[in-house]
Amino acid sequence: MKQQQFLEVIDRDEAERRWHALLALAPLESEPVALEHALGRVLASDVRAGVDVPSFDRSNLDGFALRAQDTYGATEETPVRLRLNAEVIPTGVQPQKEVMSGTASSIATGGMLPRGADAVMAVEHTDVEGETVLVRRAQVPGGAVSFAGTDMGRGETVLFAGTRLTSRETGVLAAIGVERVAVVRVPRVAVISTGDEIIAPGKEMRPGLVYDSNGRILADAVRELGAEPVFLGAFPDDEGALCEVTRRALDTCDLVLLSGGTSKGEGDLCYRVVADLEPGIVVHGVALKPGKPICLGAHRERAVVILPGFPTSAVFTFHEFVAPVLRRLAGLPAERRETLRARLAQRVSSERGRLEYLLVGIVRDAGGALAVYPMGKGSGSVTSFSRADGFVRIGRNTEIVEEGAEVEVTLLGGALEPADLVVIGSHCTGLDVIAGALAREGLVLKLLAVGSQGGLEAARRGECDVAPVHLLDPASGEYNTPFLTDGLELLRGYSRMQGVVTRPDETRETSELVADPTLRMVNRNRGSGTRILIDQLLGESRPDGFAHEPRSHYAVAAAVAQGRADWGVTIETVAREMGLRFRPLRSESYDFVIPGERWKRPAVQAFRRVLEARSPVRKQLEKLGFGPPEESPVSG
């Protein structure tokens, strides 16, 4: 038999393009698995929280639930005296008695905060004298409390399709009560070694023979990617045996790997076996060193690859051509790497006497320097850990790390995963829809919820690609446009209705609710667009609960739904999901500020594309109640 020559040696990208054109590259079908078996698997669909996390306003320590304003002025020498309520609140029990002004209730770590209380004072800063508790330190509203829905709100998208589950993500799933989760089926990869000279490790070596290292290398490389290797053995150069094992592999596996037999020498039979498939050989010979002899084939949209026999060439071409296909089948994004010192983007306070590990997200500013943002959800948060890039050690004798300070970051996972698109600003359920669509396109997103004002400042510093904002200018009655400065562009997003929410049995109108001094409100955090609207609604009024400042629409809805507050302001979409009565307050513009130099970045262009008028994402947003953008926002 004469040796045949390469059909055509072509460019690497062209080889991949031709090959991919004949393959089915969508993620494999989904399958449900128990959470205990989900580690390392890839989510097949977005996961939304079915509960609030925490599910109630929770004490972070043993102490006394009280009203923070009652502690102002308290010191060791001049303690504040509060009447001790008869109720003691353990974990797992719903409080029955409201904490009135001048009173306090004993509460355990993890106990449910009673109505009326907005803070907890640690037991070590108090003394009990009969029915009186002496408070020897002032406390701030929200101190030592994790508010319901602050970490995750019911209905919030907590993990996106395509996420590979580590212990951080399985912790998130456990925290929302998920028992079984839909994951992408693990690709099965057949591995076949070929050649008369190949013997299995452990066999006696003779001149002219080589141990089969390729079988082990390729099987383990497949396993490292999260796929399931099926090693079918080492076969001599027998065309009938090779044809039979290849057909068997195609019946049971999603991708077939053969090694050896690519150079078309007189004894190499793999080429002929693959050539007889449908359509068979797609590429034979690529302009690479090492790896020129690689043979890329297909059978009915299923990949069949003959890797070079030399181990170095086999490994190189596996990672260059096969690994990306396997990641696509497994629902994984393209592999990335990186790692550092960075600048702290926000001032951080720490407790003297303890070494603190501060979870951070990492971004790059306009000059390319790294900046880190504290995740900011507290020690009880599971989402902070799942979404953090690393942590900063704050020494035990340090109380404050100033904005702009250089810090050392330890990366989680061993390498920084650079994001294609960095989004810093206000969070919204509509943003989840947009982010999910981009994630399904293969983009890696980093979302940091710091509020509209924080996002605007990040955009001005060039630390993000997109800053979602809904800032109302009281003077003009316009949203967002008045806050633009040189170098910033505004991409119109969508309109959404803000309104006052109550439980369904409350029928009074907004003006009556605001004027009733017996009702307790729930506020929003300063710097958010919703807070501006609330301040405008209240004027000089400061209802009970004004100091309660959760950071999300879901947390507001949770406070009202659970009776921790009687009314609050949130968006209509969240109110509808939570079954609350909604009173429209005003339509607002939720838009996106983009640094001018990032306007034409590919990831930003993808973001702009999904917001086009006729895009599927736009239609999905409208179904959720998010209307088209308001070109001329209505005034006050």
Distance CA 272, CA 163 (A): 39
Residue 2 in this model has a pLDDT that exceeds 50? no
Mean pLDDT, to the nearest integer, of 241-248? 91
What mean pLDDT do residues 88-104 have? 96
Whether this model's pTM surpasses 0.75: no
Which two three-digit tokens encode residue 278?
Answer: 């449908």
The arithmetic mean of pLDDT across residues 513-535, rounded, is: 90
Do the Cβ atoms of 108 and 47 come closer than 8 Å? no
- Helices 429-440, 616-623: axis angle to 10 degrees equals 150
Q: What is the pLDDT of residue 91?
A: 95
Listed residue (288, 275, 311) closest to 195, CA to CA: 311
| DSSP for residue 305 | E
Alpha-carbon distance values, 308 to 13, 262, 289, 321, 336 (Å): 19, 6, 12, 13, 25
Predicted local distance difference test score (pLDDT) of residue 636: 27
Averaged pLDDT of the chain = 88
Four-point Cα dihedral 357, 361, 363, 365, nearest 10: -60
Greater confidence, 102 or 207? 102
Looking at residue 144, its amino acid is: A
Each residue's pLDDT tens digit, 373-403? 887 655 445 566 667 787 887 877 888 889 8
Higher pLDDT, 148 or 335: 148
| SS3 state at 504 | coil
Q: What is the pLDDT of residue 635?
A: 31
Domains detected in the chain: 12-28+186-329 (3.40.980.10), 30-53+151-184 (3.90.105.10), 58-146 (2.170.190.11), 341-418 (2.40.340.10), 429-623 (3.40.190.290)
Each residue's pLDDT tens digit, 189-213: 999 988 878 777 788 888 777 887 8
Average pLDDT over residues 479-497: 94
On the question of pLDDT at 1 being above 80, the answer is: no
Nearest by Cα to 98 from 71, 116, 120: 116
Distance (Å, whole) CA 165 – CA 172: 10
What local confidence, expressed as pLDDT, does residue 366 receive?
Answer: 77
In the prediction, which pLDDT does 378 show?
52
